[in-house]
Structure 1
């Protein structure tokens, strides 16, 4: 568990560093020499950024429990639906970001999008915090360096706005680009992803 933090951005960036420091959290850029070997031994880790009644943000304990893909085509960390924090009643905890890493830095998967929408249906898609209203999002961290993993960036999907964004860090400065938009069909059972390149609006950090 990490925190407490006074801002969701601080919690997010601390979690990025912590997760990418875990063993085999990065497999480098896809297509690089030995990237296939690194992929086979890589792991996904996941956690929640959540908000407590005393107006603090925390990062939950990490888990690396995964859904098994017999063909090793994908890796999916199984995020618990709820946070266990004995200091606060379960009903008082508010869910902000669902976090995990993508070893190859790939874009968010359809599974990621479905999972965060399911979690939002359970916990709500917006939370009023000390910083105003924060919108639920799923985040996938990545690093381009296998031997010295650092927080190079993350993909983010915000169900309320439909935006998919890619945040990248260069010399401590963050830049955001909208890379896609999710559109659900009329009955909410399926969706399409339109790839796009546009400036971001809202989001983190």
Structure 2
């Protein structure tokens, strides 16, 4: 989904594109595969001789995974509407705050994951962190579901390959806990590592610092 030429950015995304799914993890992994299969979603490894060209040509795509009144998880349609940085070196997908699923009243939708891809697997940016906190102020930082209370988070998928991209992992930030996590595929299983902890300023709610850590995730961290 894209805005018409010369039109403002989309403020809503239609739904659904994928689903329904019975669990948040199945929705997340299906979304990962879908997004990374889009054109130029991965620039591959920095060591590749064509990395610079692939990075400049890369695109970010974004969507929501949300929880419906039918107790299912659904992924919205995708957008690649973006703002290009001043050096024209990368694009950041601008995720609309709202999903428009005509099957349900707007206030019955529960927002679970804000999704996008990072073309070369970089960690979450300052903009990603600020965005999901602002969305938490609108939608709430956790939602009651049939699977318990699920915490709102932002997710950035990545693939190690540009020529044959696959869902190799994702970065995740959970505002309610302050944790920054990195999930990577290991054969048929997944490995989770906490890579950082976000601390917000006591005097300025727009400022934060990230303390780098490296430790296994605790059992409460499930995608």
Equivalents in 1 of 2:60, 2:222: separation in Å? Answer: 22
Of the three residues 6, 18, 33, the one matched with 2:34 is: 18
Instruction: Measure how far apart 1:73 and its partner are.
Output: 4.1
Identify which of 103, 117, 132 aligns with 1:101. 117
CA drift of 1:72 comes to 2.6
Shift of 1:74: 3.7
Deviations 1:132-179 (A, max 9, x none): 000000000000111110000000000000000000002121000000
TM-score, length of structure 2 as denominator length: 0.90
Give yes or no for contact 2:63–2:78 (8 Å, CA) kept in 1.
Answer: yes
- In the other structure, the counterpart of 1:67 is 83
Output the TM-score relative to the length of structure 1: 0.98
1:80 aligns with 2:102: no
State the partner residue of 1:189. Answer: 206
Aligned residues: CA RMSD:
0.9
Per-residue displacement from partner, 1:51-104 (whole Å, max 9, x unpaired)? 011101000000000012130344210001000100000010010000000000
Residue 217 of structure 2 is matched in structure 1 by 200
Structure 1 CA distance for aligned equivalents of residues 178 and 53 of structure 2: 35
Unpaired runs of 5+ in structure 1? none
Note the residue ranges of structure 2 that are not aligned, 5 or more in a row. 1-16
Q: Which range moves more in the overlay, 158-167 or 185-194?
A: 185-194
Q: Deviations over 1:15-45 (max 9, x none)?
A: 0000000000000012321110000110000
**Is the CA contact (8 Å cut-off) linking 2:65 and 2:115 kept in structure 1?**
yes
Cα deviation code 1:107-149 (max 9, x no counterpart)? 0000000000000000000001010000000000000111110
- Aligned residue number for residue 137 of structure 2: 121
Partner residue of 1:31? 47
Q: Counterparts of 1:143 and 1:82 in 2: how far apart (Å)?
A: 27
Q: Which moved more, 1:179-188 or 1:81-90?
A: 179-188
